[in-house]
Amino acid sequence: MKKLVFLTGAGISAESGISTFRDSDGLWEKYPVEQVASIEGYYRDPALVIDFYNKRREQLLTTVPNEAHKLVAALDEHFDTTVVTQNVDDLHERAGSKHIIHLHGELMKATSSANPNDPRCIVSLTPDKLNIEIGDKAKDGSQLRPFIVWFGEAVPKMEEAAKAAMEADIFVIIGTSLNVYPAAGLVSYVPRDAQLYLIDPKPVKVPYGLDIHTIQKGATEGMRELMEILLAQQ
């Protein structure tokens, strides 16, 4: 069975109504990145950052996976599929994808401020205990914080994602600007003989020398077209 690897970004979840950071009406227009998405911002004002992600979590509960998420999951039946996502939502999980690597953390989890990647300190949040409050403690006694990889922090799942990219027969990029590193660098790990696809309604600057089949459509329309292409090759 061929190995199919997706790299997904905010564009795939935007169709579910989740605000993106980078678009003109995105979250960064309202909140400077250094304020809510950097480790320095968290140290400066943990209450503001915790509240920001509490609101994102409340929004997430009102959204559902869109057709693009479901089509990605449907390809599990035909390929050995891995989803590498820059998104912190759980829409891929809810759509039915089984093997997901979250590069930038998971919104529905909380962790230790002192040791954010210690698995003993990572807890799942539920609809009846959705918010993190100042004073909530992790197992190591430190303040609970969102389980998010912020700017200024290492990306612990990068090695796992790079390994998946290196094994890909087909590599598909959906809804990401390829501006955020190290995630954008994953294409450099893809084997030369692998098929490369890019789905995005806007022009995306791709690394020089890569032979990428571009589908300039939104995530759902693009995934419909990709499904036809890939299943015709079966």
- Residues pairing with 144 in the sheet: 112
Report residue 184: phi and psi, to 5°: -60, -25
Residues 174 and 68 sit within 8 Å (Cβ to Cβ): yes
DSSP code for 1: -
* 3-state secondary structure at position 147: strand
Q: Calculate the alpha carbon distances from 82 to 67, 134, 217, 218 in Å.
A: 18, 36, 22, 21
Please identify every residue annotated as catalytic.
Answer: 104
CB 4 within 8 A of CB 168: yes
Strand partners, 124: 109
Which pair of structure tokens corresponds to residue 8? 């997904």
Nearest alpha carbon to residue 230 among 62, 58, 74: 74
Q: What is the pLDDT of residue 28?
A: 46
What pLDDT is stored for residue 24 in this prediction?
Answer: 44
pLDDT number for residue 25: 47
List per-residue pLDDT tens for the chain, 234 residues long: 999 999 999 899 999 988 655 544 444 456 777 788 899 999 999 999 999 999 899 989 999 999 999 999 999 999 999 999 999 999 999 999 999 999 999 999 999 999 999 999 999 999 999 999 999 999 999 999 999 999 899 999 999 999 999 999 999 999 987 666 666 689 989 999 999 999 999 887 776 677 899 999 999 999 999 999 999 998
Q: Please report the domains of the chain, with CATH numbers, ordered by start residue.
A: 1-17+65-104+155-234 (3.40.50.1220), 19-62+110-148 (3.30.1600.10)
Is residue 78 a contact partner of residue 231, using CB atoms and an 8 Å limit?
A: yes
pLDDT at residue number 26: 46
- pLDDT reported for residue 227: 96
